[in-house]
Amino acid sequence: MTSIKELKQVKNLTFECETGNYHTFCPISCVSWLYQKIEDSFFLVIGTKTCGYFLQNAMGVMIFAEPRYAMAELEEGDISAQLNDYEELRRLCMQIKKDRNPSVIFWIGTCTTEIIKMDLEGIAPKLESELNVPIVVARANGLDYAFTQGEDTVLAALAQRCTQLQFNHSSNNSDSQKSQKPLIVFGSLPNFVNKQLTLELANQGIDVSGWLPSSNYVDLPNICPGDYVVGVNPFLSRTATTLMRRRKAKLIVAPFPIGPDGTRAWIEKICDVFGLKPRGLEEREKNIWSNLKEYTELLKGKSVFFMGDNLLEVSLARFLVSCGMIVYEIGIPYMDKRYQKAELEFLQATCQKNGVMMPKIVEKPDNYNQLDRIQDLKPDLVITGMAHANPLEARGINTKWSVEFTFSPIHGFSNAKDVLELVTRPLRRNSSLPDLNFKV
């Protein structure tokens, strides 16, 4: 067991790896936000009835919105190779083209397609030429990927399509834009958050050439060798690698724009790369913190423990330390120290600035061990996957579902309040409940 006294002696970030398993939400759930983001798309998830049942429950609230996704359910005949994969997928895709006429069809592979070695990458090009509809294959199986890495595999596959679209941006550019090296931002965010971050950069004299993904497949950005790219989410390391290796783009390694501190650092790093002096960011951040005072007063001195689920843990922990919280442990399913280098350095600097202990970062944590540590440390709040929330609440521990941060707009200056609204809700709820003493 780890005692609080031992933790307070930690002065540097420490990294551990435990079980090697991903105890997270299934990565095929990325369909739920990507089909809404890429408006001319259709997502076909290829898996078993279990996958279909998961999607039905995870996205059941969208049933009346006519979502642009479907399940290709594998039966015994498919798994035992008694049926022709090409013919079955051809039949489904022809029906999709007839009913929806999408600009692009995404095939999302699951655990079963991995186990039976279904050759999706081999089938797709032949069927794409026959149907005259782009088919993008992405692996989002829970054997190899954690929750939000489903989006990472989709964007990595999509990045390889960017240069195939001969779209000339320079014809509409002003003289100031022509002198600037193109900047592409990657990561799926709601359109209004895209506009907020684009405007923040424009206020610094930086024009965003495009976003990956774009709202429409036909508007994918043209990415050329030497163009700059920057991510908005810490779980997009595969996409970053693809952009660097396949598209020969230059990656800007910056903290992620979560919280006013992270947003300012993200913009400042981009300004630094483009040789610009940031304007008004210090005052902008100060005003946001002033508006968050009601929340930070509640969080000051409180402790939080991350069990690990969505790979946003390091960025959220850094922001909460800035709010005055103490982070005991950061559980995270997968840690790419190169892609998150700036964020890790920022976390360490933030802890030193606030004079608090450095959290321990545990990759692929063992949930049983974590429960022991939680019982020992007794944090004020545990941010956890849905499976552990009720058992922890039954032990008298405040919890917040990590999945809620994935589905909420948490990026940029204007949305910092949304993060703290989620974090403080269980604390405010429990503090407002009367202390009832029942006599048996």
**Which tens digit of pLDDT belongs to each residue from 19-41?**
878 888 888 888 888 988 999 99
Whether residues 265 and 237 share a domain: the answer is: yes
Whether residues 296 and 428 share a domain: the answer is: yes
Q: Are 142 and 27 in contact (CB under 8 A)?
A: yes
Q: Cα–Cα distance between 152 and 144 in angstroms, integer?
A: 12
Per-residue confidence band for 107, with pLDDT thresholds at 50, 70 and 90 = very high
> Does residue 161 lie within any of the structural domains?
no
> Is 51 annotated for ligand binding?
yes
pLDDT of 49 higher than 70: yes
> Is 111 annotated for ligand binding?
yes
Question: Crossing angle for the helix pair 416-432 and 313-322, nearest 10 degrees?
Answer: 70
Residue with tokens 């002065």: 11
As for how many domains the chain has, the answer is 3
Whether residues 244 and 322 share a domain: the answer is: no
Q: Are 233 and 212 in contact (CB under 8 A)?
A: no
Q: What is the mean pLDDT of residues 162-184?
A: 59
> Does residue 304 lie within any of the structural domains?
yes
pLDDT of 206 higher than 70: yes
Whether residues 221 and 335 share a domain: the answer is: no
> What pLDDT score does 24 carry?
83
pLDDT of 4 higher than 80: no
Last residue in a domain, options 126, 145, 164 = 145
Range of the domain at 339: 4-22+289-432
> What pLDDT score does 77 carry?
54
Last residue in a domain, options 217, 246, 273 = 273
Average pLDDT value over all residues in the chain: 87
> What pLDDT score does 7 carry?
47
Q: What is the mean pLDDT of residues 74-95?
A: 73
Q: For the whole model, what pTM was predicted?
A: 0.88
pLDDT tens digits, 231-252: 999 999 999 999 999 999 999 9
User: What's 131's domain CATH number?
Assistant: 3.40.50.1980
Whether residues 363 and 403 share a domain: the answer is: yes
> Does residue 165 lie within any of the structural domains?
no
> What pLDDT score does 60 carry?
59
Whether residues 268 and 338 share a domain: the answer is: no
> Is 162 annotated for ligand binding?
no
pLDDT tens digits, 336-349: 999 999 999 999 99
Q: Cα–Cα distance between 322 and 260 in angstroms, integer?
A: 9
3-state helix, strand, coil in the chain (%, to 5): 50, 15, 35
Whether residues 373 and 355 share a domain: the answer is: yes
CA angle 130, 134, 140 (to 5 degrees): 120
Whether residues 329 and 254 share a domain: the answer is: no
Rg (CA), the chain: 23
pLDDT of 383 higher than 90: yes
> Does residue 162 lie within any of the structural domains?
no
Residue with tokens 């450095």: 358
